[in-house]
Amino acid sequence: MTASVPAQASRAAARGSERARWLGLLVVCLGVMMAFVDVTSTISALGDIQSDLHVTASTLVWITSAYSLAVVSFVMSAGTFGDLVGRRLVFSLGAAVFLVGSLVAVYADSAGMLITAQAIAGLGGSAVLPTSLAIVSATVTDPHERTTAIGIWAACSGVGLAIGPILAGALLEHFSWHAVYIANIVIAGTALLLAPVFVAESRHPTRKPDLAGLVLGTVMTASATYAIIQGGATGYTKAPIITMYVVFAVSLFMFVRVELRHPDPMLDLTLFRSASFSAVMGVAAVSVFGLVGVALLSVLYMERVGQTSPLDVGVRLLPLFGTFLLVTVVAARVLVHRVGFTPLITAGMVLIGAGSLALLATDASGGYGAMWPGLLVAGVGAGLLTAPSTAAAVNSVPPQQEGMAAAAVNMARQLGTVLGPSVLGTVVTSRFPRNLHDRLVEAGIPSPQADRIVEGASHGGGATGLPASLARVVGTAAPRAFTDAVHLGNVIGGVVLIVMAVPTALFVRHRVHSPRTSAEA
């Protein structure tokens, strides 16, 4: 009897520790959800933002891309900083900075101020994403439990992506677009308050600063990302864009030299000797490129062609993001242990690509019947691969490099988040004026007059103020021109995803292994 008392106390303590560990996981997942809510809620509010602020299409791209530019530029540095000074501390600082950025967005009265707010929020997101995943990896040490935990982490990104459009739509029904960012403030504030209570502090025991790597890595990623975004709007042969490419090339060369010589580099480049790790990085970038690209193209199509209200847009995206969330949970808890990483990730890439191509069934009527099957297929594909690809990256490195792997996979994902809106969004915004001009000229409108109409349409204007006969022509030509532009984006996204499925099938390691036995992977 006396021997059972300590045993009961030990079991109770273990249960309490287990409960605290999973509560901490939920708090960091709240931060992840926060970081992704911003992406889709901003996309959903673009129509209202453009109408209110009268911004050009090229500036509109920056309202979504400024956030991702900041994340992709600083995510590796933030992950390293968390390893050095404490992951919970950096996570909390990130939530606080994100809150400040969202607060600035609420009061923004110009495109420049909103872009600045998005960049500030992105700086916060760059700290939250890698540290949250590193906290999960440090807290859950069993490889199979870790895959489940990472699945929950990935599912919360799906929650953020799914509720962003619905929250934005509900708020836009009654308030201006500024109210969209109030939801960010609430989520960030909650994560900031709960993190010190439920999240255990952790850091890398022997990590040393790599200041040169931090600076060069930030310059390298920022210059490349800026060139991708701005080049899509102004042309990739312009002098400022070429200058950014030169900056990228020089900083990349110096970064590689520094990291190969540093005894404790920010990014251990030898990890990329593993074909599996390299392929997973490609999967992380391309899959999010496809997912966010499909979401953006669908939102633009529903708003511009279908004239769908913001709330209805959010609801109609549920086949994409709701399915993504549900399948992510199933893939993490059941499928990955039964069939392994490779089949799920490969199938996911093919299905996202197929879903993007299936959206070619939409037409200028703006009907939803032809859209939801493609969204559903893409959502299934994204759900199949998100948790397995993240777990494959973290499980393929030694324990002391898990934070580094977490930061790397998040940087790859955010690169995809940049590429989706910037490349596919730019395809639409650049092709639509040309398509519309051609259709107006074919309808018998003189070219100079067509140019003026196209200029107004590119700034968010419609056919108001035109004579009735001309308004009818524009009202018919504009939806068709915009649908054709969206279809081109769908084709590009679908082909890129399906092509990426080939190296995925060839190189991603098939099974879940303990990180303590897979350093060679």
DSSP state string for 319-380? HHHHHHHHHHHHIIIIIHHHH-HHHHHHHHHHHHHHHHHHGGG--TT--STTTHHHHHHHHH
pTM summary value: 0.76
Task: Output the pLDDT for position 496.
Answer: 94
Task: Output the pLDDT for position 513.
Answer: 47
Helices marked H in 45-110:
46-53, 57-85, 87-106
Task: Output the pLDDT for position 463.
Answer: 53
Task: Output the pLDDT for position 403.
Answer: 65
Task: Output the pLDDT for position 521.
Answer: 32
Helix, strand, coil fractions of the chain, as percent rounded to 5: 85, 0, 15
What does the pLDDT look like over 446-470, one tens digit per residue? 888 877 777 766 655 555 556 677 7
| Residues of the chain falling short of pLDDT 50 | 1, 9-10, 12-14, 16, 512-521
Contacts (Cβ under 8 Å, ≥6 apart) of 507: 275, 276, 278, 279
Contacts (Cβ under 8 Å, ≥6 apart) of 430: 57, 232, 233
What does the pLDDT look like over 184-198, one tens digit per residue? 999 999 999 999 988
Return the axis-axis angle of helices 111-139 and 143-174, rounded to nearest 10°. Answer: 160
